[in-house]
Amino acid sequence: MVPPPRFATVSFDNYITDPGQPSQAEAVDALRGFAGRLDGGAAAKRGRRRHWFRREAKPAASGGPRGMYLDGGYGVGKTHLLASLWHATPAAPELKAFGTFVELTNLVGALGFQQTVQTLSGHRLLCIDEFELDDPGDTVLVSTLLGKLVEAGVALAATSNTLPGKLGEGRFAAADFLREIQGLSAHFRTLRIDGEDYRHRGLPAAPAPHSDETVTRAARHIPGASLDDFPALLDHLSRVHPSRYGAMCDGIQAVCLTGVGPIPDQSTALRLVVLADRLYDREVPVLASGVPFDQLFSEEMLNGGYRKKYFRAISRLTALARDAKGLADVASSGR
């Protein structure tokens, strides 16, 4: 559980703040200070002697939230900052964990709740990217898990497009689980990060889709490229658990898709969102024919409870399409 390849070498120093958005520089300063304060706790933990027959004392309460919650629109650099915090925290890599919200819930599914608590309780820091609550079960599960980890002295950090008190809104009856949601919120200090999507800042419009012939030719010329018909890919995703999408992408140098079209239903759309995140994490360019990526999701989807997930997917797929421009040039030249 470490930052993905795209964020393997990021730092607070190479996060480019927008002078017109002071909240970005304020977030950097707050996170630097948070990382620095974690050092003392780690040193104390290293110096503590373990006893067989005496119950360990719980870490003293810090008098405030044990976590940082980065809230902001898509493309303002929240994951960059979260990974920078992971790198800056003065602890061995095995004492820090970084993963998406989906990966955290998958970990509980694989290990079981008690084993997950035991495994993560020895960590100094748990970073959770793309924090979302899509159903009541996740709300109770994560609320209980984070409460146990905070009691054990684990510091928390998370990113989301939704304020803690608004998690689950528009997706299930959040009011019925208000106590759990408020409990989650109490663990965090919220840092609002304003700004426009850096993936589009100062860049031309998204590239137009290519022809089927161009995409197919590129797949044949590029070592390690995949080639799939878009409807067939969506069907395949329905038969693979989303926790395995990352492994499915490993080793692929480029994704070539023919016949990209509007997503037929919300379940399929949410699976595609997970795939887009995993491709973006691994910096895999996407060359496609069919409709532009900003036409993947219906107006109903873009106005519904998952709208922020869909906008993030559009943003990331558009960035990966830009990265694929050189691949189309290779195909056109026949090299």
- One-character DSSP codes across 215-277: HHHHHHHSTTEEEEEHHHHHHHHTTS-GGGHHHHHTT-SEEEEEEE----SHHHHHHHHHHHH
CA-based R_g, the chain, Å: 21
For residues 250 and 49, give the distance between their C-alpha atoms in angstroms, rounded to a whole number.
42
- Among the ranges given (81-85, 160-164, 224-228, 264-268), the one the predictor scored with the smallest mean pLDDT: 160-164
- Among the ranges given (10-14, 107-111, 149-153), the one the predictor scored with the smallest mean pLDDT: 107-111
Domains of the chain and any CATH numbers: 5-44+60-197 (3.40.50.300), 203-333 (3.40.50)
Could you tell me the pLDDT band of residue 129, with boundaries at 50, 70 and 90? confident
Higher-scoring residue by pLDDT: 73, 311: 311
Q: Which helix (H) or strand (E) holds 290?
A: strand 286-290
pLDDT value at position 206?
A: 66
Could you tell me the pLDDT band of residue 254, with boundaries at 50, 70 and 90? very high
Higher-scoring residue by pLDDT: 174, 287: 287
The percentage of residues in the chain with a pLDDT greater than 70, rounded to a whole number, is: 75
Work out the average pLDDT over 152-169: 66
pLDDT value at position 174?
A: 39
Q: How buried is 310 (Cβ within 10 angstroms: 0-12 exposed, 13-18 middle, 19+ buried)?
A: buried
- Among the ranges given (19-23, 51-55, 247-251, 318-322), the one the predictor scored with the smallest mean pLDDT: 51-55
Could you tell me the pLDDT band of residue 205, with boundaries at 50, 70 and 90? low
The percentage of residues in the chain with a pLDDT greater than 90, rounded to a whole number, is: 20
pLDDT value at position 5?
A: 80
Residue 189 has pLDDT above 50, yes or no: yes
Alpha helices in 125-252 (DSSP H): 136-151, 178-186, 212-221, 230-237, 245-249
Higher-scoring residue by pLDDT: 39, 210: 210
For residues 322 and 203, give the distance between their C-alpha atoms in angstroms, rounded to a whole number.
10
| Nearest by Cα to 146 from 173, 180, 191 | 180
Instruction: Tell me the average pLDDT of the chain.
Output: 78
Question: Given strand 286-290, what is the order of strands in its sheet?
Answer: 225-229, 254-260, 286-290
Could you tell me the pLDDT band of residue 103, with boundaries at 50, 70 and 90? confident
Could you tell me the pLDDT band of residue 324, with boundaries at 50, 70 and 90? confident
Contact at 8 Å (CB) between 215 and 290?
no
Could you tell me the pLDDT band of residue 156, with boundaries at 50, 70 and 90? confident
Could you tell me the pLDDT band of residue 183, with boundaries at 50, 70 and 90? low
pLDDT value at position 65?
A: 65
Chain-centroid distance of CA 66 in Å reads: 20
Could you tell me the pLDDT band of residue 236, with boundaries at 50, 70 and 90? very high
pLDDT value at position 331?
A: 58
For residues 287 and 307, give the distance between their C-alpha atoms in angstroms, rounded to a whole number.
24
User: What tokens were used for 2?
Assistant: 């470490």
Tell me 83's DSSP state: H
Could you tell me the pLDDT band of residue 185, with boundaries at 50, 70 and 90? low
- Among the ranges given (15-24, 183-192, 215-224), the one the predictor scored with the smallest mean pLDDT: 183-192
